[in-house]
Structure 1
Amino acid sequence: MKKLIVYLLEIIICFVLQSSMFHYIQLADIMPNLLLILVAATAYMRGRMTGMMMGLFSGLLVDLMYGSYVIGLYALLYLIIGYFIGFTNKVYSRDDYTLPIIIIAISDFIYGFFYYVFEFLLRGRLNFLYYLRRFILPEIIYTVAISVFMYKLLHMINHRLYRKPDEEV
């Protein structure tokens, strides 16, 4: 029960920070995707099922608040990203900080690509290179820069949440 409460608090805090604080400190009209960092980091540290659940609830929260005419698009994208990144849990190391940052960058690219496909390509807007240069790459850079700090915090929370009772701090 404690883990569920911590996960829900993480989702709510990341969503509030992403929609309120980072809305005012945008760089080139781009915000970092804190919920994607949360989903990717949790899936990397805890596995597929936890990553899927974090992705589903994070995506549903975004869908309910910012979704256009289709509810479930963000939930599907975050769920799929959480599921596939959960496979990398087998190579999880408590000392490695570079692999999760690379995984977050790749997942942000995949998120941006599928968002382009569902929101723009299906409407007949075919200029992918413009969308790549204008939105996907700057968001990847900004998200990776924020994820360096945020992953360390999430890693510390995860370690405290799953440590054994006889283990020292």
Structure 2
Amino acid sequence: MIKKVIINFLIIAAIIALSYTKLINFIGIYNVIPDILLILVVFNGLFFGSMFGMVFGFCAGLAYDFSTYPLIGFYALIYLIIGVSTSVPEKKIDIEHFFVTVVLLFIFFILKALLFLVIGSIFLKPQEIYYYFKDVFVIQLLYTIGLSFPIFLIYKKIASINRKTEKR
């Protein structure tokens, strides 16, 4: 468990550090980058349990808030709720197939957008919400789903290794 926490902490740190480099402009499409943190929160919740997804979501959101966003706790709350909501399909759906995880990721992306709208209507300016849905939403959705395939393969491999070591 400690090893998993340290690895995920390093992943969050690498993603946050990546957001400060010029490399992020290279992978961005129209200055929109995929929501890698959302992919990781959903996959951590689905593959390692909703409690781990919740903690990872809160930590990832808080790190994102500290590094880029002036409103501390905004994304921490959004990713925390998404991490908790991974408990709904956790035991009921076979997550070993990529198509199922794409559909789930699409649903969680829509949930993130709804949370952004609801929580943002309380704390953000209307122009920020309008900009997100006008210029960012569709590109980020498609880019996030497209990038989820290689990350899914990595998480599937890690989860199978974890299951083998837990059986011993």
Q: TM-score range by the shorter chain?
A: 0.7 to 0.9
Structure 1 residue 77: Cα displacement: 0.4
Q: CA 1:34/1:130 → structure 2, altered by over 3 Å: closer, same or farther?
A: closer
2:31 aligned with 1:29 = yes
How many residue pairs match? The answer is: 166
Output the TM-score relative to the length of structure 1.
Answer: 0.82
Tell me how far apart the structure 2 counterparts of residues 64 and 128 of structure 1 sit (CA, whole Å).
20
Identity %: 24
Structure 1 residue 107: Cα displacement: 1.6
User: Contact between 2:46 and 2:95, CA under 8 Å: does it hold in 1?
Assistant: no
Structure 1: segments with no counterpart, 5+ residues: none
Partner residue of 1:74?
Answer: 75
Tell me how far apart the structure 2 counterparts of residues 41 and 31 of structure 1 sit (CA, whole Å).
18
Partner residue of 1:146?
Answer: 147
Partner residue of 2:15?
Answer: 14
Structure 1 residue 133: Cα displacement: 4.3
Structure 2: segments with no counterpart, 5+ residues: none
- 1:64-143 matches, within 5 Å, as 64-68=66-70, 70-93=71-94, 95-119=96-120, 125=126, 131-143=132-144
State the SS of the aligned residue for 1:95: coil
Letter in structure 2 aligned against 1:28: Y
Q: CA 1:94/1:138 → structure 2, altered by over 3 Å: closer, same or farther?
A: closer
Tell me how far apart the structure 1 counterparts of residues 43 and 112 of structure 2 sit (CA, whole Å).
15
Tell me how far apart the structure 1 counterparts of residues 28 and 50 of structure 2 sit (CA, whole Å).
32
Q: CA 1:100/1:19 → structure 2, altered by over 3 Å: closer, same or farther?
A: farther
Tell me how far apart the structure 2 counterparts of residues 94 and 124 of structure 1 sit (CA, whole Å).
38
| Candidates 62, 86, 89, aligned match of 2:64 | 62
Partner residue of 2:40?
Answer: 38
Deviation larger for 53-62 or 106-115: 106-115
